[in-house]
A and B are shown apart, each in its own frame.
Chain A
Amino acid sequence: MRSVLKATAVSLATIVALAAPASAELTGNLKINLDTSNPAPRATMEALIAKFQAANPALNITTNVIDREAYKTQIRNFLSADAPDVLTWYAANRMKPYVEAGLLEDVSDMWADGTDIAKELASTKGALTVDGKQWGVPYTYYQWGIYYRKDIYQELGLSEPSNFDDMLSNCEAMIASGRKCYTIGNKWLWTGAGWFDYLNLRTNGFNFHMQMAAGEIEWTDPRVRETFANWGKLIRMGAFIDDNQNKDWQQSLPFMIDGSAGAILMGNFAVSPLREGGLTDDQLDFHQFPAITAGIAMAEDAPTDTFHIAANAKNKDNARAFLAYIVSADAQTEMNNGANLGQLPVNSKASVDDDKFLNKGFEMLSSNSPGGVAQFFDRDFPAEMAQAAMEGFQEFMIYPDNLDDILDRIEGVRKEVY
């Protein structure tokens, strides 16, 4: 108890100190592990760290950027063995195993009532809470939704669908014009999970989806089958590009760029490569995933990426100061602007960059998502469950007729996991 109090006092002191950086520069070391290995996020993070370094010239910062996919398997090793002070990760269920193993630092002190973080980051607190304590801070989040070729829609006289029937009829027109409706690269499984999330959220609603995540609903339940039936309609009409089971998501983008597919269900991070691929904002547009079952409140996926302190960190005070810096309104504004991450800032005082897609996403999430906000399939569902289910999705997208077998298999895993 005393040590907790002490730690809190120390960290409060550093936060206060940070407010007046001139008076108390940080010294010692700070070791940061990042999974932001794609070029743009990498540059963004490095620039922000450079600023932090400039404010604290005596601090010795080492940054270790690890490939995003490799990071997901390596985190468990370095957390226990070669712990950095600060690391990036994901909220909700994805951080839970590490919290339960005691590998992440409890940073509830930073979220205590009255702190700036508590005031400015209130909306994300839930995603970082396990057992009533907070285990990190968010640094960015982004909307998911349908990015589509506006010019192609216009050419075919189509408009943004507002319900599933529109979606299907749009798709028919698209196919009639010799195109595919949606591109997807499902080799790494999570892209298909995005489709399941949305179809299930729209067919059965947010609460049902979360009950599934908690293992309370059988996968062979008729309501789940309803979700797959809707998905099956799209698959059977040929809505998705061929051979999607062994493409990664980057490989699916050229179909969108060359116009052989009209749209993609993806997170906002797809915008930057699509723009780089040559699509202008006149060609590319965004719409919310349309309603399916009437009367069900719209709910969205908006994954939150996070920063944590390792429980075995050696420089926890410096780490806390860095976390406080990362979530500050200024850093958030800069980090998430269109030229950098191009995502949504987590700090309510930060400003959303004046970017078409960010504005649309921000508006959708803040005013048109009454049902709730989910993290994402593999962050909401436990790891083993997610793996088995996503493999099933991948198979379903190629062989929709195997549905019974797939669902039986996933249900078998559900019984084991929970």
Chain B
Amino acid sequence: MNTTLVKQNWYKRNEIAITPWLFLVPGLIMFAIYVVFPIFQSFRISLFKWDGLGSLATHGEYIGMANYEKLLTRDRSFNISLWNNLKWLVFYLASIPAGLFIALFLNQTVRGIRLYKSLFFFPFVISQIVVGLVFTWFYDPQYGLFNGIIGFVGFKPLNVLGDPTLSTYGVIAAGLWPQTAYCMILYLTGLNSVDPEQTEAARLDGAKGIKMLWHVILPQLRPATFIAFVVTVIGSLRSFDLISIMTNGGPFGSSRVLSFYMFEKSLSEYGFKMGYGAAIAVILFLIMMVFIGYFLWRMYQDEKATNG
């Protein structure tokens, strides 16, 4: 009785210090087990030669930095993947201006505009698997709508997904579809909170069109642009589903990106190289960390500003 009382008092006295930890524990444990530790484990696995069929301890062979050395010096598939990641990064960003453009187009108050807005947003809601299938048919060299269209304009038919110089762009274009929808919705919300007085004031000063957009509207849309930038960059580096459905990395490995190459090396039909795959994953992780770091730094600045 006495001890519980003491305990209670102790708890009571420290309630504000202890409570947050009690609330954090379940989430932290889950997150540590499934996210934090695995990252370190992957770093470790990347130093081994391991086929993944037995445990790492018994079947793995420690080879130090050999996986990285091979990746960085004499693996052409890795170079192609890295290069394609860069293409993804650059061209995927097109979804930001495209999203802004559509948002501006839809930012009206005519009848039924709400329905239009949601229909435009549609592609983001359906899974990338379905998007991938749809675009694969769209590009079909024989029957696809794509060749129908460019044929109509007078171009020769293309086998987009079968051409090593085009396949990556073909997949990126498919990815742009849902991503543009995403950016569009971010900008639509952003446009909602654009200060009408500023706009009117600028209008009275004779600003309109592009000039108005650039000098008055875009600065106010900066939070939306920032989020759009972050999700687009992360999305581009995560691209996997579309590639796996549309080209399976082909033809002859020309549309691989790191995330796909990693999966291929470690878990696909002919891949038994867990250590090598982990090394690819680590490199992808480090690239991603640059952007995550930037994002966190920006958030940190915001936090300081609001708290300080």
> From residue 362 to 418 of chain A, which have CB atoms closer than 8 A to chain B?
378, 383-384, 386-387, 391-392, 394-395, 398, 409, 412, 416
Give the Cβ gap from A388 to chain B, nearest Cβ, in Å.
9
The answer to whether B162 touches A245, judged by C-beta atoms less than 8 angstroms apart, is: yes
Give the Cβ gap from B169 to chain A, nearest Cβ, in Å.
15
Query: B20 within 8 Å of A by Cβ?
Result: no
Question: Can you offer 10 A-B residue contacts whose CB atoms are under 8 A?
Answer: A76-B53, A97-B51, A97-B53, A97-B272, A102-B54, A188-B248, A246-B161, A246-B247, A246-B250, A386-B270
A-B contact count (CB 8 A): 72
The answer to whether B271 touches A383, judged by C-beta atoms less than 8 angstroms apart, is: yes
The answer to whether B52 touches A243, judged by C-beta atoms less than 8 angstroms apart, is: no
Contacts of A103 in B (CB 8 A): 53
Query: A1 within 8 Å of B by Cβ?
Result: no
The answer to whether A73 touches B267, judged by C-beta atoms less than 8 angstroms apart, is: yes
The answer to whether A412 touches B253, judged by C-beta atoms less than 8 angstroms apart, is: no
> Beyond A101-B54, A101-B59, is A243–B162 a contact (Cβ under 8 Å)?
yes
Give the Cβ gap from B140 to chain A, nearest Cβ, in Å.
9
> From residue 230 to 287 of chain B, which have CB atoms closer than 8 A to chain A?
247-248, 250-253, 267-273
Q: A73-B267, A245-B162 are in contact. List 16 more A-B contacts (CB 8 A).
A: A76-B53, A76-B267, A97-B51, A98-B53, A101-B53, A187-B251, A188-B248, A243-B141, A245-B250, A384-B270, A384-B272, A391-B250, A391-B252, A391-B253, A395-B252, A409-B76
Residue of B nearest to A70 (CB): B269
Contacts of B247 in A (CB 8 A): 246
Contacts of B156 in A (CB 8 A): none
State the CA gap A159–B76 with chains docked (Å).
Answer: 45
8 tightest Cβ-Cβ pairs between the two chains A and B: A101-B53, A387-B270, A395-B252, A246-B162, A245-B251, A383-B270, A72-B269, A243-B141
Residue of A nearest to B269 (CB): A72
> Beyond A102-B54, A395-B251, is A387–B271 a contact (Cβ under 8 Å)?
yes
Contacts of B54 in A (CB 8 A): 101-102
Contacts of A243 in B (CB 8 A): 141-142, 159, 162
State the CA gap A256–B248 with chains docked (Å).
Answer: 25
| Interchain CB contact (< 8 A) of A392 among B59, B248, B252 | B252
The answer to whether A73 touches B76, judged by C-beta atoms less than 8 angstroms apart, is: no
| Interchain CB contact (< 8 A) of B268 among A73, A98, A416 | A73
State the CA gap A392–B162 with chains docked (Å).
Answer: 15
Q: Which residues of B contact A (CB under 8 A)?
A: 51-54, 59, 70, 74, 76, 141-142, 159, 161-162, 164, 247-248, 250-253, 267-273
State the CA gap A255–B53 with chains docked (Å).
Answer: 41
Contacts of A392 in B (CB 8 A): 252
Judged by DSSP, the binding face of B is loop
Residue of A nearest to B267 (CB): A73
| Interchain CB contact (< 8 A) of A187 among B51, B70, B248, B269 | B248
Query: A80 within 8 Å of B by Cβ?
Result: yes
User: Residue among A72, A246, A378 with the most chain B CB within 10 A?
Assistant: A246
Give the Cβ gap from B90 to chain A, nearest Cβ, in Å.
24
Residue of A nearest to B136 (CB): A246
Residue of B nearest to A402 (CB): B252
The answer to whether B53 touches A383, judged by C-beta atoms less than 8 angstroms apart, is: no
State the CA gap A246–B269 with chains docked (Å).
Answer: 18
Give the Cβ gap from B274 to chain A, nearest Cβ, in Å.
10
State the CA gap A383–B267 with chains docked (Å).
Answer: 12
Residue of A nearest to B273 (CB): A384
| Interchain CB contact (< 8 A) of A101 among B51, B159, B161, B164 | B51
Contacts of A384 in B (CB 8 A): 270-273
State the CA gap A242–B251 with chains docked (Å).
Answer: 14
Contacts of B162 in A (CB 8 A): 243, 245-246, 398
Residue of A nearest to B162 (CB): A246
Give the Cβ gap from A307 to chain B, nearest Cβ, in Å.
20
Residue of A nearest to B251 (CB): A245
Contacts of A395 in B (CB 8 A): 164, 251-252
Residue of A nearest to B248 (CB): A187
Contacts of A409 in B (CB 8 A): 76
Give the Cβ gap from B98 to chain A, nearest Cβ, in Å.
27
Residue of B nearest to A71 (CB): B269
Contacts of B253 in A (CB 8 A): 391
Contacts of A246 in B (CB 8 A): 141, 159, 161-162, 247, 250-251
Contacts of A101 in B (CB 8 A): 51, 53-54, 59
Contacts of B52 in A (CB 8 A): 76
The answer to whether B270 touches A187, judged by C-beta atoms less than 8 angstroms apart, is: no
- Residues 34-66 of A, flagged 1 when their CB comes within 8 A of B and 0 if not, give 000000000000000000000000000000000
